[in-house]
């Protein structure tokens, strides 16, 4: 063993602990829901989960996974092109394509893989990729993997800046504009109505990662493009199955048949890594069915977000008014956000503090996320706990 190396790494961790920025990891002993059981803490209220539609503990979603385990076993034990894919993958992908209104969809074991497997596959040295400055890390890493493609960053949601950059790169073969649908740290929406227009004017292709918008935003939960009425104008969607759509894991690309066809042939996570476990595919498929058949669930989630936001505003907190389920409460210093989160946990409320480097220095926050599973009493309990930590 290289003792010196391991010691150096320990010193790095110690430095994080000294700065108060070391994250702690909790262990849950019951399904993800509005409340769950945490090792050493007992019953806790979860205000920081991506389980937006409350489907992670939905009985039919759990049952679907169990049935798939019986039907297909644990998995293919191989990558797709070597040993094939289960029917349940095809069923899921067809349902995802129908949900997004695209010709086809392709699942990955995570949206992280979808983003990092997509971007380098469709871009080459004669292209350009232009990215919102607040995009998710998986999009940033996807762009980094397209290492021969020139890249540029536009100011957050600034469509004039985007247009200027597109003009500078008018000679590029493909111009790919990349954005989150809902920005995960702020909860704001990409201005997709204008973005698709700018793309059209400049002959650019749009890629929207709607991981925090899927199941949450838009009348029927089809995301930010539905909210802006431009669903048929986005070229490529990526999103996750690990949040509103059951919460297990998994991600996907939804786009035209040629784009998906190319990904099947050449996207590295597709050809060098196993497909989603069939259990996860079946749970996600059932989550989509529940969502399709109960669009009222989305409206109810949106009503609850409004309730929570109003309650926090009445208690004197500055809250955003974006139509997502993410409500950041700004704290400032990273150590303070982590401290607030830990004090809240002592009061039985789990809400994560985010600091540098996830968000810029000085803008640390706790990120409140609302779920369909929450009751109004949960929001009041949370607001009381927050008051006692922040004002107490
Ligand atoms: C915008 C965005 N894209 C991608 C991901 C990664 O999703 P997954 O957990 O499916 O890899 C996340 C997760 O936090 C996200 O917020």
Q: Tell me the domain boundaries of the chain.
A: 20-52+295-390, 59-293
| Matching CATH number, 59-293, of 3.40.640.10, 3.10.20.600, 1.20.910.10, 3.30.365.10 | 3.40.640.10
How far apart are the C-alpha atoms of 184 and 161, rounded to whole Å? Answer: 22
Ligand 1 atom nearest to 138, measured from its CA: 4
Query: What distance in angstroms lies between residue 187's CA and the mean position of ligand 1's atoms?
Result: 14
Q: Which of 35, 175, 202, 212 is catalytic?
A: 212
Q: Which value, to the nearest 10 degrees, does the dihedral of the CA atoms of residues 262, 268, 270, 276 take?
A: -140
Reply yes or no on whether 243 is catalytic: yes
List of residues 6+ apart from 283 with CB closer than 8 A:
61, 62, 64, 65, 68, 246, 248
Ligand 1 atom nearest to 210, measured from its CA: 1
Task: Tell me the CA distances in angstroms from 60 to 44, 90, 287, 300, 331, one per residue in order.
Answer: 24, 20, 8, 19, 39
Structure tokens at 17: 């602990």
Reply yes or no on whether 184 is catalytic: yes
What per-residue confidence (pLDDT) applies to 176?
98
What's the pTM? 0.96
Strands of the 326-332 sheet, one edge to the other: 326-332, 364-369, 353-354
What per-residue confidence (pLDDT) applies to 24?
83
Helix 192-201 and helix 159-168, axial crossing angle in degrees, nearest 10: 20
Nearest residue to 193 (alpha-carbon basis) of 151, 158, 229: 229
What per-residue confidence (pLDDT) applies to 19?
85
What per-residue confidence (pLDDT) applies to 363?
92
Structure tokens at 75: 């998995």
Query: What distance in angstroms lies between residue 112's CA and the mean position of ligand 1's atoms?
Result: 6
What per-residue confidence (pLDDT) applies to 392?
77
Does the structural domain 20-52+295-390 have CATH classification 3.40.50.300?
Answer: no
Atom 12 of ligand 1, residue of closest alpha carbon: 211
Beta strand residue intervals within 99-162, DSSP E: 104-108, 128-132, 151-154
Structure tokens at 347: 């009061």
What per-residue confidence (pLDDT) applies to 323?
93
Ligand 1 pocket residue status of 211, Cβ below 6 Å = yes
Q: Which of 89, 136, 175, 243 is catalytic?
A: 243
Ligand 1 atom nearest to 50, measured from its CA: 14
Q: Which value, to the nearest 10 degrees, does the dihedral of the CA atoms of residues 13, 17, 20, 22 take?
A: 50
Of 48, 110, 240, 247, the residue with max ligand 1 atoms within 8 A of its CB, to mutate for a pocket test, comes to 240
Query: What distance in angstroms lies between residue 212's CA and the mean position of ligand 1's atoms?
Result: 8
Ligand 1 pocket residue status of 374, Cβ below 6 Å = no
List of residues 6+ apart from 147 with CB closer than 8 A:
120
Which residues on neighbouring strands pair with residue 253, listed in sequence order?
106, 238
Q: Which residues of the chain have pLDDT under 50?
A: none
In this structure, are residues 101 and 258 in contact, taking their beta carbons and an 8 Å threshold? no
What per-residue confidence (pLDDT) applies to 292?
94
Residue with token string 């369909």? 372
């Amino acid at each position: 063993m290289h003792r010196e190396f391991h010691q150096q790494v320990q010193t790095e961790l110690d430095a994080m602990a000294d700065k108060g920025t070391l994250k702690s990891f909790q262990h849950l002993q019951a399904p993800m829901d509005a409340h769950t059981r945490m090792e050493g803490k007992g019953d806790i209220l979860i205000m920081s989960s991506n389980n937006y539609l409350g489907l992670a503990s939905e009985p039919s979603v759990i049952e679907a996974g169990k049935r798939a385990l019986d039907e297909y076993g644990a998995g293919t034990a191989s990558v797709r092109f070597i040993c094939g894919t289960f029917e349940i993958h095809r069923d899921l992908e067809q349902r995802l394509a129908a949900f997004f209104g695209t010709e086809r969809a392709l699942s990955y074991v995570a949206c992280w893989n979808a983003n990092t497997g997509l971007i380098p596959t469709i871009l080459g040295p004669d292209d350009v990729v232009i990215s919102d400055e607040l995009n998710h890390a998986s999009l940033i890493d996807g762009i980094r993997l397209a290492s021969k493609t020139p890249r540029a960053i536009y100011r957050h949601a600034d469509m004039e800046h985007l247009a200027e950059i597109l003009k500078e790169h008018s000679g590029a073969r493909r111009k790919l504009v990349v954005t989150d649908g809902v920005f995960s740290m702020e909860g704001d929406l990409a201005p997709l109505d204008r973005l698709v227009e700018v793309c059209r004017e400049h002959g650019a292709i749009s890629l929207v990662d709607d991981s925090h918008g899927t199941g949450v935003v838009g009348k029927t939960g089809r995301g930010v493009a539905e909210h802006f009425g431009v669903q048929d104008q986005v070229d490529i969607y990526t999103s996750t199955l690990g949040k509103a759509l059951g919460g297990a894991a998994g991600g996907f690309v939804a786009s035209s048949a040629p784009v998906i066809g190319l990904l099947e042939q050449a996207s590295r996570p597709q050809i060098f890594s196993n497909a989603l476990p069939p259990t996860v595919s079946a749970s996600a498929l059932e989550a989509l069915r529940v969502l399709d058949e109960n669009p009222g669930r989305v409206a109810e989630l949106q009503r609850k977000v409004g309730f929570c936001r109003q309650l926090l505003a009445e208690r004197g907190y500055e809250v955003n008014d974006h139509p997502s389920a993410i409500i950041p409460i700004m704290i400032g210093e990273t150590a303070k956000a982590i401290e607030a989160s830990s004090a809240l946990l002592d009061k039985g409320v789990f809400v994560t503090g985010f600091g540098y480097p996830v968000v810029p220095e000085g803008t640390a926050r706790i990120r409140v996320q609302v779920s369909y599973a929450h009751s109004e009493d949960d929001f009041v309990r949370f607001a009381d706990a927050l008051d006692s930590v922040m004002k107490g």
